[in-house]
Amino acid sequence: MKRSLIAKLNRQVTEKFPEMKGVNPTVRRGPQPKGGDQRYTLTYKGQADLPGGRKISRIVRVVADEEGRILRISTSK
């Protein structure tokens, strides 16, 4: 996946999950559906702040196609 597309996806993810700002995702190529675009899974691992100064680990997974369109986002609690 091109770096420019990863940067675009990073901006979209940090808009929804500000705690992922500055996190470099791991990128894996997924299986290509018949007649479809190649899919990629980007995994972001970071920490979110909780009330009382506590922190929680958070993982955000993004499935995107080769054109940089987000198909699915999931996150841990």
Domain borders along the chain are 3-75
> How would you write the pLDDT of the chain (77 residues) with one tens digit per residue?
889 999 999 999 999 999 899 999 999 998 777 877 899 999 999 988 888 989 889 999 999 998 999 999 999 87
**Model-level pTM?**
0.85
8 Cβ partners below 8 Å, 6+ apart? 68
Q: DSSP for 1-27?
A: --HHHHHHHHHHHHHH-GGGTTPPPEE
Name which of 70, 44, 40 is nearest 57 in CA terms: 44
